A and B are shown apart, each in its own frame.
Chain A
Amino acid sequence: MQLESFLRRSVEQWPDKTALVCGPRRMTYAEYDEASNQLAHALIALGVSRGDRVAIMLDNSIEVALSVFAILKAGAVFMMVNATTKAEKLHYLLNHSGAAVLIASSRRISAVENGLEDTPDLRSVVLTPAIRPCRIPSDKQTVGFEDLLQRHHGRVGPPPRRAIDVDLASLMYTSGSTGVPKGVMLTHQNMVTSSTMLTGYFGNTPEDVILNALPLSFNYGLYHVLMAAQFGGTLVIERSFAYPEAVLKKMVEEGVTGFPIVPTMLAIMLGADLGRHDLSRLRYMTNTGAPLPSEHIARLRSLLPNVTLHSMYGLTECKRVCALPPEELDRRPDSVGFPLPNQEICLVDEAGEPTARGEVGQLVVRGSNVMRGYWQMSEETDRVLRPGPIQGERVFYTGDLFRQDDEGFLYFVGRVDDVIKSRGEKVSPREVENALYNHPDVVEAAVIGVPDELLGRAVKAFVVLKEDADVSVRDLQRHCAGQLEDYMVPQIIEFRDHLERTDHGKIDKRQLEGALL
């Protein structure tokens, strides 16, 4: 089955039902289907072929959902790029993926303009909202999103189907310990499997109304576009969770039944006066990114006793892996439960041998949700996709350390590498350090994660400056903000005279982490 069939099946059954809501805009399934058909025809007219990558770099909006389905209908591969990505990284992502088209927001035009020099594979740039004078290199065709829809207005039906289910549906870039982002290749089959597993687990029905305030460029946010289309529900897209009051009001107005969060959002929600909002329609919430603090769970349960809370764990490479049965939440608030249906896990030691129950080991995942590999990185792929029990099969070594209790419940312990999970997103210390080293006055830099009530982990940098350098913390943060996505900019920067080194000559991060205990 192809991913775009989710939308086709829902439009056949509920053409007049509201599919998407964003701000004052509403769209029925029929309109959703028709607009994505028009855009699919437009992409093909721009020269997009089967298997081509099309990058989406947009804030949360209806255009994201339209773009995802249009790209799939064109037989191409969608690639999500965080809307706060800066020019240099955008340039890397476009060239590494060889994307043919970029769909971007004209509000963030400077990253787009500066990121497109010398991107030979990229042929077209689609801008939304309305296009304005800009400095996009002249070898690219620049068109307006709305103009494209207009141009193909009245076209009936989708383009002829081109992809089959083992073709790639998506390329999702994720941070790794090497500091170089890796493109996770997901097939239609991978994504259909994951979406089906989740909608089944949550018991979703067409009556469900999901509100998504997570970035749609973040894999868990994106899945709500796919899942809502699969079960024929309504998806309310919020730009962000910056204004919790406005989001809570929207939840009441739209009768929201499902609400995905990361721990940061719950911490903010609990600071607001939840009692003033009638959230009686809310049926479930799902948490991912990092475990919720036990006291937050307890407070949420006393404030919203009828809401079922699902604590989950997963990675972009295999989507969701496990979930805690909600009835276990009071007994084991820090567990992420059992594997979801139709996948298997095991914990292994450094030699790859299964660990004894109760001991910490690396989580290995087996199932049709596991990615095809990292785009054009065969070494990195071979490191994490290793032979499984059936000849020719490969299973995924997550790099996450877990332990399992006597009854089989899983507990996240930490990372094999030093990747930081902040605000539910992965931050590569190396990527942040590289950005710091690009500053002419930085001699040494080491980045670690430190506990933070709001963020889960905050990004902290230790920096040694050149002698006589006149650089402030703000200067360095501004420098980083010019190169990194927002969530990667260090919240804390500490200047040091020197940084201790290990016997191998590397900066001793253990010592830096230890000093915080």
Chain B
Amino acid sequence: MQDPREKIRHFIRESFLFGGDDELNDSDSFLDMGIVDSTGVLELVAFLESEWGLTVDDSELVPENLDSVDNLVGFLDRKSAAAVS
């Protein structure tokens, strides 16, 4: 199975960079880079929910969870840990 980090990178590239090869580091803030706006965040959440079958609460819609590849991977880890326990 594809690594979640790789899946997320692929999604960001396809959805927000339109498949381009622009340089994007895993720690780069999507807001700083200007690649995700409000509709983008909703697409991102829909992707997380459909890909990993999790539910994202309104209270979790914050940059700390969603605003970079690193943050997304961390958020996924926390969500799956919570689901297991």
Within the complex, what minimum Cβ distance (angstroms) separates A451 from chain B?
16
Q: Does B63 contact A (CB under 8 A)?
A: yes
Contacts of A478 in B (CB 8 A): 17-20
A interface, over-half SS = helix
By the criterion CB–CB under 8 Å, are A265 and B38 in contact?
yes
* Chain A residue total in the interface (Cβ 8 A): 30
Complex: A268 Cα to B40 Cα, angstroms: 12
Interface-forming stretch among A190-198, A241-249, A383-391, A442-450? A241-249
Complex: A311 Cα to B41 Cα, angstroms: 26
**Partner of B18 from A83, A244, A249, A474 at Cβ < 8 Å:** A474
**Partner of B32 from A107, A249, A477, A486 at Cβ < 8 Å:** A107
Question: How many contacts between A and B, using CB within 8 angstroms?
Answer: 69
Within the complex, what minimum Cβ distance (angstroms) separates A493 from chain B?
11
By the criterion CB–CB under 8 Å, are A273 and B58 in contact?
yes
Complex: A265 Cα to B42 Cα, angstroms: 12
Q: B15-38: which residues lie under 8 A (CB-CB) from chain A?
A: 17-20, 30-34, 36-38
Complex: A265 Cα to B41 Cα, angstroms: 13
Known interface pairs A243-B61, A243-B66, A276-B58. Does A474 touch B34 (Cβ–Cβ under 8 Å)?
no
Q: Does B39 contact A (CB under 8 A)?
A: yes
By the criterion CB–CB under 8 Å, are A243 and B62 in contact?
yes
Q: Does B85 contact A (CB under 8 A)?
A: no
Q: Does A59 contact B (CB under 8 A)?
A: yes
Q: Does A240 contact B (CB under 8 A)?
A: yes
By the criterion CB–CB under 8 Å, are B14 and A242 in contact?
no
Interface range on chain B (Cβ under 8 Å from partner):
20 to 34
Q: A229-277: which residues lie under 8 A (CB-CB) from chain B?
A: 239-246, 249, 264-265, 268, 271-273, 276
Q: Does B59 contact A (CB under 8 A)?
A: yes
Contacts of A455 in B (CB 8 A): 39
Known interface pairs A273-B58, A276-B59. Does A241 touch B38 (Cβ–Cβ under 8 Å)?
yes
Closest to B64 in A: A246
**Partner of B62 from A108, A246, A475 at Cβ < 8 Å:** A246
Contacts of A507 in B (CB 8 A): none
Given contacts A59-B34, A243-B41, A486-B34, 19 further A-B contacts (CB under 8 A): A83-B34, A107-B34, A241-B38, A242-B31, A242-B36, A242-B41, A243-B66, A244-B61, A245-B59, A245-B62, A246-B63, A249-B62, A264-B38, A264-B39, A268-B38, A268-B42, A276-B58, A276-B59, A478-B17
15 A-B pairs whose Cβ atoms sit less than 8 Å apart in the complex: A59-B31, A59-B32, A84-B34, A108-B34, A242-B31, A245-B60, A245-B61, A264-B39, A273-B59, A276-B59, A455-B39, A478-B19, A481-B17, A481-B18, A486-B37
